[in-house]
Amino acid sequence: MHKVEIEVGRDILKRNREEASQNLDVLRQHNIRAFDILGSIGSGKTSIIEKVVPILRRERFQIGAIAGDVVGEDDFVRMKALHIPVVNLNTGTECHLDAHLVGHAIEKLPLKELDFLFIENVGNMVCPTDFELGTDARIVVVSVTEGDDVVNKHPMIFRVSDIGIINKIDLAEAVGASIARMRNDMERIAPQVKQIPMSVRTGEGISEFVDDLLKY
């Protein structure tokens, strides 16, 4: 019984990797830089997109987005207010997006007009880890309000990511969180991750993040 379950799981992940590769091929054919944004509910994923989009548009870039949630349109509405093309993806009972869902969402976007695509994954620090979507990079967002042990408790999501944002650093003292501990944990667990301490409220780290996006 366990052997069957393991084999089925491997088949699902294999198929997802194949579809992720297809997604990436389509996006690269259109010269679109795509980013999978991971993190818990409330970490600040949508707020970061809201800050970054106007900066990129001032540089004459066109941006699209996919808003992933279990249910609802809250993040979709916020991104739509940025006046960019957005597709809302509700997963129902699933706690992550997968490459198949994203592939269908990509078909609904004006790819010929886009330079960047932000895919905001479902708010979860575990489920999305194994499901690549077909992007140039994966960005994981954590906030000091989640506790300074959040990185240590979720090592796998950092090991599959390229950029790690520690958000809401302006609140660290108020909530008794050690930014140094979070950075040290990230370096120990996933030394390949580019770390960016950030505060959406003060703007710290936003420019550095945009600079990193432009390198892809």
Which residue spans within 124-192 are E strands per DSSP? 137-143, 163-167
Average pLDDT over residues 14-19: 96
The confidence score (pLDDT) of residue 7 equals: 58
**Confidence band of 1 (pLDDT split at 50, 70, 90):** very low
Tally of domains in the chain = 1
**Span 142-176, pLDDT tens digits:** 999 999 999 999 999 999 999 999 999 999 999 99
Please list the alpha-helical segments (H only) found in 34-127: 45-58, 74-80, 99-107
- How many other C-beta atoms are found inside a 10 Å radius of the C-beta of residue 142? 26
The confidence score (pLDDT) of residue 8 equals: 53
CATH at 96: 3.40.50.300
Beta strand 194-197 with 137-143: parallel, antiparallel or unpaired?
Answer: unpaired
Q: Label residue 167 exposed, middle or buried (CB < 10 Å: 0-12, 13-18, 19+).
A: buried
Query: Containing domain of residue 92, as a range?
Result: 2-214
The confidence score (pLDDT) of residue 2 equals: 43
Q: 164: closest CA among 189, 141, 135, 198?
A: 141
